[in-house]
Structure formats: structure tokens, C-alpha cells
Chains A and B, each alone.
Chain A
Amino acid sequence: MSINRKTVTKNAYRITKTRDKTCLRIRVPGGHLETRFFPLIQSIADDYGNGTVHLTTRQGFEVPDIDFDKMQDINAKIRPLIESLGLDMAIGENGYPAAGTRNISACIGNRVCPFANDDTTRVADNLEKAVYPHDFHFKIAVTGCPNDCIKAHMQDFGIICVTEPQYDPSRCITCEACSDNCRKKVTGALSVRDFNIERDHEKCIGCGECILKCPTGAWTRGDKKLYRMVIMGRTGKKNPRIAMPFLKWADEETITQVIQNTYRFVDNYIDRSLAKEHIGYIVDRMGFQVFKKEVLEGVVPNKEAQIAENITWGGYWYNQNLEFK
């Protein structure tokens, strides 16, 4: 059998441990899928695979045990799934146009969760349209609040939906439910002064808990949808680490532009001797300031946005001598 491995991989099919067998990766941006696609996915698994699907950590499906020579048939069949991504391009019967930029995952968001500050699937869908298809290996996830159920802190770009709480003292009964909760569960950004609540904007992470706790509606949500962007978190075999905040209180346009600009940054500096290089290692090599300068080029952040002066990532290096007995 002769196949072009790179073409196959780009087409969202995997090389698997079983010779001549592949595995289809189905994207589900924002992790929310209309059930009308279930019969299609089932039929591919039943007719071409082994009647099973795997739910991936990125919220896609992998359909295993497929013969490579069935790719063309399958690509024709999955056209509606790819069309449903709403990409600004003609969708033919050639399957997924790229697989490098991974499925943009999202927690369930405010379609269900009371804590969520936004419709995470909507945000993920919008980002998908802004960055996909692309061959560069980008991992992006959107989480509805700083609880970070989707693990945005393990991504190249983690988008955390936030709200800037608005306080109306005329509705406050000083029950202190907000400040007690913020102190115990969050960052202690709220304090009581003369029976009023004062919010420390630098400490506030925009989680919206105060709004949820308020029995009178003294706390309400800000008009603008805002986001915290954490960057360059990763797992992997060298230096696993959590992402660190790059932008606070940024709007959707700002975060979208920063991610788009990062593709240019990667193109400029990626180590092409490797099959792929995670963005975080490129940023490590070039330095945060170079990254920052290039990804903010041409971006006019919203007036509320704050940008990290510097970032020091943590994590640990596998090759350091950790003591074990």
C-alpha cells in the first residue's frame, strides 16, 4: 500500500498501530453537536470502522479501524459535518482541509451552567471560523468561568469567559454573601466599608460569583463580554506547565486577533526540522517580549484590556534530576 502520510494526516486521518488501518478524527467545535449528525457518525463507524467511536479529550470523535482505501468514500459522506462548521470556504467531498489546529473545545457554558459567563460554544465556533483550517499545531479551549472545567490552562490559548461585576449600592442590604464567598472561594476581592462593598479590580478575576450570590440584584453583569486569555500551557515530554495570563478583560475581537497573529509568529520562527513544534517552545526560544510584540501588532485592545508585562512559566522539566527512592 502506498499513501502520502502527510496528506492523510492533514486530512484528519491518523496513522495507527495497525498496519493499513486508519482512524478518522471528527471535529466538534465547542463540544456541542446536533444529534442529527449521530446517525452519520454511527454509519461511518458501523460501515467502515469496528462499530465503536472514541470520545477524545478535545471533544471530538475518533472513528477507529478504518481501511485507508475507504477515505474517499468517507470524505464524501462527512461533507455535512464539515459544512456545519460554517467555514468561509467551499466544502467539497475531500474531507477535512486541515488537522494541525486542533478542535476548539469548550465547557458546556451558559447553555446549561449557571456559573458560565458566556456561551462558550458560540465563542469556540467563532474562533474556529477565525483560525481553521490551518496546519500549525494550535490547541485552543474556551471555558465559561475561572473554574476552568475545560482545562483552558493546559492549552496554547485558554479563553476564560469573565464578567466585570457592576455594583448598585442602592440595592445592597450588606448581607455580605458576596464578600464572604469571594474571600472563601475566590480571591478576596470584595471588602465591606461603611456597609458598602468595595471591589478591588486588580484582585477580581471576573468569575461572577458575587452576582450569583446576591439576593437583591445589587450585583449585575457588565454589558460587555470579556475574556481572560491564558497562554502556552502544555503537557508533553519536556516541560509540562499550566498556561499563564497574557490578557485580562479583553474583548472577543482582541483575543481573536492575538490568536490569528500568533500563526504569523509561528510561521516566522518555527523549527522546521521538527515534524511539529508546540508554540510554547517557540515562545520559550524567542522570548516572551518578541512574542508579545508580534502578536499585538495591529491590535487595538479594548479599553478595559490589560496586558501582561512579563510572564514566567512554571511547571517542571522531565530531564531535571528529581529525587526518587
Chain B
Amino acid sequence: MGFRLAENEKDRYLSELLQSYHVFAPVAKAGKGAFSDTDVVGYGEIESFGDIVLDRKSHFSPKEVFYPVRETLFQFLKDEVLETTIDEKPLVVLVRPCDLNGVRRLDTIFLKNGQEVDTYYERRRKKVKFLMVECTEGFDTCFCVSMGSNVATDYDGALRFEEGSLLLDIKDPALATEILRDRPEADFQVEYIRENKVKVDAPPLEAVTKDLFDHDLWTEYTSRCIACGRCNTSCITCSCFTMQDVQVNDEKNLGERRRVWASCHIDGYSDMAGGHNFRKKHGEKMRFKTMHKVNDYHRRFGEHMCVGCGRCDDVCPEYISFSKCINKLNQIAKEVAQ
């Protein structure tokens, strides 16, 4: 159902939401940019719609709101285990369509990949409702249209910030707070971006062969990539994690198990027993990531993992463009096919 809120009513809607939800949105964190005297746009709790930053893309994706960078799963003492609990208050997270499509990838990995459901993900994820912010302009590095993730309809509510008013499309009645009741419906159809500056063609699945695996394309990235992992930590769909067991007493039987994000670009990711590592070169790491994002995942789940948010391009200190890499891969696939 569509509604229109006047400028002076917007924050009343938000304050009503805040009675039942933590509300997260992209905000500017003053002085917290890596460079001095800069801010960084990342996800944080808001108290006013005025806190939201939409004219810049968030540096980090919204995934950290419900998939923490670091999370203690349980604590242990000898044979006893105490699972951690989480804040019971549910969350509303403001996202763009690309990110909402990214969340579906995360859901797939954590909830639909094999027989077991990741309960630690699930317990947080089921507390989240998404308010999708209409996005019709995008940014220079976006390629959501190419990845088919410019459109998302599985939102709980959608927003359009207009001059002087806020338009809402509420699907989940729980998000229709007091101020929306008995209000005349407004006509609001969410619009989507239909063309990005960057266009990407992922190679057809069957075109990705062993020839591409061994191609020289990847050696370029061996010299360019510095394996910092920013592409992974900013990505909405990177879901890899590792475990950390911390023992705090001398007997080493009191402690906790945490899981933390892992990055396929950072050394140690592919370490195996006996000190083996099958992806030592940075180009090989780039290949692994690329193949997962635009090939392997698709083979298993029927859609590409990458949603084209372009954050990896934005944050790479070496100016490596992932969209360009995909296009190169496609070009080479064509050449190899001939």
C-alpha cells in the first residue's frame, strides 16, 4: 500500500518505527574515514531520516548489521557450553535494490546451501525487515542492471525521498505504524534504474573452461592485487567466515568460539593441514573470487552471486575494477571458443 508523508511527518513515522525496531541506514561517520579529516559512509542506527546519506554509496555493505564482522557463538567451560543470546528487538534496515538482492544470496548460502541451516545467521536474519530505498540514478561504478539486480520486489517496505515528502510502499503490515493508519492511500510505484554507465557481460557458464582457468589474464592481477581483502569486506555477497577459539585460562578449557569474516584475498584463507596452500598467487585469488561470483555460484543456485553494487571497485586501493575483470573474462572466453 502506498502512502505519502509530508516533510514534517517523516520523522514521526521513524520515531514510531523506533519504538519497536532498531533502524539502520547508511550514515556518515565523522572522522572515521581511513584518511584524516574524512568521514566514511557505513551502516549505523538512525534517529532521523536526516541522518541518512544517499548521495554517496556506503563504503561497507549492510550485511554487517545482521551478519556481524565478528560474533561470539558460544562460551565454554570444560564440557559445558553456553550459547550467546542476541538483542531481541527486531531491526529495520534501509537498503538499495542491489543490496536487497545481495541479501538473497546471503540467505541462500547460509540457509539453503545443504541440509543444515546456519542457526546463528538465521536467528539474526529473521529479526530483520528491509525498507528498500528507491534507486534510479546509481553511481559511476554500479553495474546492477547487467547483473539483473537493479530490481527487487521482495521488500517489506519501499521508500522514495522526494522534495518535501516521503513516499512509502508498505508490504509488511508491521511497518504500517500509527501515522499511516486511516491515511488515504497514495499512488506509489517503485521505479528502478534501467541503465548503468558500466555494462558487464559475464561469460556464459559453459564458456568457462580449463583454458580460462589457466589463462594469462590472472597473472596481471598477481602483480596488481595486494591481497588486502577490501573487495571482500565491502561486498554484500561475500559470506566466508572462519572460526577463532579463544581460551582464556591456563587449563585452556574456559573460553569462547567466535566466527569472523574471512577473505579469499587475504593470506591464510586457503591454508591447509601440512602448510599447503593451493592459491598462493594473488592472481589465483582473484580468479577464485571471480569464478565464484560469476560462475560457480550460478551453476549451483541459478543466478550470479555478484549483484553489481560496485563497492569492490570503489574501495580497491590499487584501482582494480571487478567489472572490467568480468568483461575481460568474457572477451577471453569468446576468443578461446573461436
B42 close to A (CB within 8 Å): yes
B179 close to A (CB within 8 Å): no
Report the nearest A residue to B230, measured CB to CB: A215
Per-residue A-contact encoding for B237-271, CB less than 8 Å = 1, 0 else: 00000001010100000000010111100101000
B69 close to A (CB within 8 Å): yes
Contact A214 B34 (CB under 8 A): yes
By secondary structure, the B interface counts as loop
Contact B36 A175 (CB under 8 A): no
User: Which B residues are CB-close (under 8 A) to A208?
Assistant: 36
B60 close to A (CB within 8 Å): yes
Number of B residues with CB within 8 Å of any CB on chain A: 28
Docked Cα-Cα span, A223 to B229, in Å, equals 26
Docked Cα-Cα span, A276 to B157, in Å, equals 75
Decide: A169 near B70, CB < 8 A? Known: A163-B36, A175-B266, A195-B258. Answer: yes
Query: Which of A49-57, A87-95, A114-122 forms contacts with chain B?
Result: A114-122
Q: Whole-angstrom distance from the CB of B120 to the nearest CB of chain A?
A: 15
Docked Cα-Cα span, A128 to B277, in Å, equals 57
Contact B262 A116 (CB under 8 A): no
B204 close to A (CB within 8 Å): no
Q: Which of A110, A119, A173 contacts B261 (CB 8 A)?
A: A173
A220 close to B (CB within 8 Å): yes
Q: Which of A170, A214, A217, A220 contacts B70 (CB 8 A)?
A: A170
Decide: A110 near B36, CB < 8 A? Known: A171-B70, A173-B263, A175-B229. Answer: yes
Report the nearest B residue to A212, measured CB to CB: B34
Interface residues of B in 34-93 (CB under 8 A from A): 34-37, 40, 42, 59-60, 68-70
Q: Which of B34, B232, B262, B266 contacts A211 (CB 8 A)?
A: B34
Contact B37 A173 (CB under 8 A): no
User: Which B residues are CB-close (under 8 A) to A114?
Assistant: 34-35
Question: Taking each of B31, B35, B68, B248, which has the highest tally of chain A beta carbons within 10 Å of its own beta carbon?
Answer: B35
By secondary structure, the A interface counts as loop
Report the nearest B residue to A169, measured CB to CB: B70
B149 close to A (CB within 8 Å): no
User: Which A residues are CB-close (under 8 A) to B261?
Assistant: 173, 216
Docked Cα-Cα span, A161 to B31, in Å, equals 16
A32 close to B (CB within 8 Å): no
Q: Which of B35, B68, B69, B268 contacts A110 (CB 8 A)?
A: B35
Q: Whole-angstrom distance from the CB of A161 to the nearest CB of chain B?
A: 8
Contact A223 B233 (CB under 8 A): no
Contact B244 A174 (CB under 8 A): yes
Report the nearest B residue to A214, measured CB to CB: B34
Q: Whole-angstrom distance from the CB of A30 to the nearest CB of chain B?
A: 15
Docked Cα-Cα span, A223 to B261, in Å, equals 27
Report the nearest B residue to A109, measured CB to CB: B36
User: Which A residues are CB-close (under 8 A) to B31?
Assistant: 220-221, 223
| 9 intermolecular pairs with C-beta atoms under 8 Å apart | A161-B36, A163-B36, A171-B70, A175-B229, A177-B228, A215-B228, A217-B32, A217-B40, A218-B69
